[in-house]
Each structure stands twice: as structure tokens, then as C-alpha cells.
Structure 1
């Protein structure tokens, strides 16, 4: 298991393939990122490892700020962003389910 903070292109491709069929688990509404949202996001990441997140924020800069905040505070890795959606990955602390390719 890689311990650095980046995913290889092959790993991102693999995770994007899995994420394609996922529905957003977390929806960031007009309130933005709250403590309770981050608690739910961390709980979901621990359970699923790979999450698709939808944002209501309209401006590109706002969306980038939200993504940066979520990534830094959840210690997840950004897999992909498409419009108002983004996909993040964080391996489970015990018994990770997703095995990343090299």
C-alpha cells in the first residue's frame, strides 16, 4: 500500500472506473461545509473508501475551495472532478476493501 499522498495515473483510472457507477453519497448544499457534514463524510469514507460528492456551489473558485478543504480535513485523495461533482478516496484504516493497482 502506498503511503504518500498522491495516486498514480493508473490508480486514478481504476478508481474513476469504479466511481462511474456510484451515486453521490454526500451533497454539499448552500450551507457549505459544516462540522456535521465533515463528520458524515469521514464516516462514509471509512465505510465506502470511495465517495462521489456533489456540490451546490456555483462558482468555480468556490467549488475549488470546498474541494481543497474537504481533501485537507479528511486526509482523502482527490480522484476526479467533473463540474459540480468530485470523487475522493481514502483507504480504510483496518481491512481496506479496494486494492489499488501499482
Structure 2
């Protein structure tokens, strides 16, 4: 679980990146989840665009993906989702220390 300070830091990093996936009419299926897992392992922080024909709301899609993959939903605003998961092999993003 990440703290609010860490979440704010990740949101600031995500501000400059473009969505690399679109969630569309095929919905959230295993091949889509595999692509997200691979992208999170490589990049740690990704942005996804949720299309209207997906059948999911932005927050709902974020919750489903996070539950399936075990990542953190950083932001769900408009039709964009920002996800974070620390890389197991090659961590790149160093989070600030917690609020405690």
C-alpha cells in the first residue's frame, strides 16, 4: 500500500506520459491483462485510456485491473487510468519515504 505522499509523487510523474493502451469493446480479458503486466514490469508507471464502448467506467476499470494484476491504481480521472507496480527485476522509480 502506498501513502498519499507517494501517490502524489506518482501522479506528478504520470502527468507527462501518454496512454499506451486503450480499453475498448473487448473489455478486460487475459491477453489485455498480460500486456498490462508486461508494460508495468518494464515501465512501472503506465496510463490507460478507457473508451466509451468498453462497458466500464474509469474507476470500475481501474479497480478490476488492479485486483487482477495486484497493482496500485494511482489516478482515475476523465477517461484515463494511471497504474503503478514496482518492477521485480529492475526497479526504476524510487518512491519518497512514507508519511509516518
The TM tier, using the shorter chain, reads 0.7 to 0.9
Q: Does 1:49 align with 2:44?
A: yes
Q: What is the CA-CA distance between 1:62 and the residue it aligns to?
A: 3.5
Where does structure 1 differ by over 2 angstroms across 4 or more consecutive aligned residues? 57-65
How does the TM-score come out when normalised to structure 1? 0.86
Once the two structures are superposed, residues 54-75 of structure 1 have per-residue CA deviations (whole angstroms, 9 ceiling, x without a partner) of 1013699633332111001111
Query: Given the alignment, which residue of 1, 8, 13 partners 1:18?
Result: 13
Relative to structure 1, the CA distance from residue 99 to residue 71 in structure 2 (aligned partners, 3 Å threshold; closer, same or farther) is same
Q: Is the 8 A contact 2:44 2:84 kept in 1?
A: yes
What is the number of residues matched between the two proteins?
97
Q: Does 1:80 align with 2:66?
A: no
Q: Does 1:37 align with 2:32?
A: yes
RMSD: 1.9
- Structure 2: how far apart are the matches of 1:60 and 1:31? 9
Structure 2 unmatched ranges of 5 or more: none
Relative to structure 1, the CA distance from residue 18 to residue 59 in structure 2 (aligned partners, 3 Å threshold; closer, same or farther) is same
Q: Secondary structure at the match of 1:81?
A: strand
Relative to structure 1, the CA distance from residue 59 to residue 30 in structure 2 (aligned partners, 3 Å threshold; closer, same or farther) is closer
